Chain A
């Protein structure tokens, strides 16, 4: 179940530093967004979501920021750990429907 072979943008950060992963979404009518994490050998896993009536939402060590003006979403990970190494996808949705559109993904590599 690994994403090996995907030619993804890669972000390399030092362990303990903060990470910022960015995503540009396509549909200005999208009103619900999710970040997923995909580790090697696993399917994508829900991290955090945000609705369009919010600009920021915090979870445990993660924060999602939404800028609707420029259709930009970011995921901030505080004190990045080796276990955070994975591919991260943003997904957008409209009207809380069933169909999400996924971004291409960013590979996060945590350096010791």
Chain B
């Protein structure tokens, strides 16, 4: 375990479903991230939260909606996804300075059918 826990590990959802991905860290980090990893683009930054405030939204479609209720928890709410959204969704956390890089979770493997 890295200290960053993601649930669920695997998710299959229909295009009309609504689901949420959860990420939790207790490393004392105050920045959290969502990344998408797929066959076409290995690691795409989606969202950055620093001190619970969203500081970056990397042109992500509105069918992805992040939520950061506190510095230890991060959610990614999903609705009306497309098959091309099937990918590995990785959560990471870091110190605000970025020194030491990210600590990643193991990811949620999402399949949209």
Given A41-B106, A43-B105, does the pair A32, B98 have CB atoms closer than 8 Å? yes
Count of inter-chain pairs, beta carbons less than 8 A: 72
Contact: A98 with B104, CB < 8 Å? no
Residues of A within 8 A of B99 (CB): 32, 96
In contact, A46 and B100 (Cβ under 8 angstroms): yes
A19-54 vs B, Cβ < 8 Å mask (1 yes, 0 no): 000000000000010101000011111100100000
State in angstroms the CA–CA spacing of A6 and B40 once bound together.
7
CB of B28 within 8 A of chain A? no
Q: How far is the CA of A100 from the CA of B45 in the complex (A)?
A: 9
Which A residues touch B42, using CB under 8 A?
A: 3, 6, 8, 89, 102, 104-105
Kindly supply a per-residue 1/0 record for chain B positions 42-85, scoring 1 wherever the CB is within 8 Å of any chain A CB and 0 otherwise: 11010010100001100000000000000000000000000000
Per the CB 8 Å criterion, the residue count for chain A at the interface is 28
Contact B101 A46 (CB under 8 A): yes
Quick one: closest B residue to A46, CB to CB? Answer: B101
Tell whether B31 is near chain A: CB-to-CB under 8 Å: yes
In the assembled complex, the Cα of A41 lies from the Cα of B107 at a distance in Å of 8
Whether A1 contacts B109 in the complex (CB less than 8 A), given A43-B92, A98-B50, A102-B42, comes out as yes
Whether the Cβ atoms of A98 and B96 lie closer than 8 Å is yes
Which residues in B have their C-beta under 8 angstroms from that of A6? 39, 42
Whether B106 contacts A1 by the Cβ 8 Å rule is yes
Interface check B103, CB cutoff 8 A:
yes
From B90, which residue of chain A is reached at the shortest CB distance?
A43
Please name all residues of chain B whose beta carbon is closer than 8 Å to the beta carbon of A104 when the two chains form the complex.
Answer: 42
B55: chain A residues at CB < 8 Å are: 98
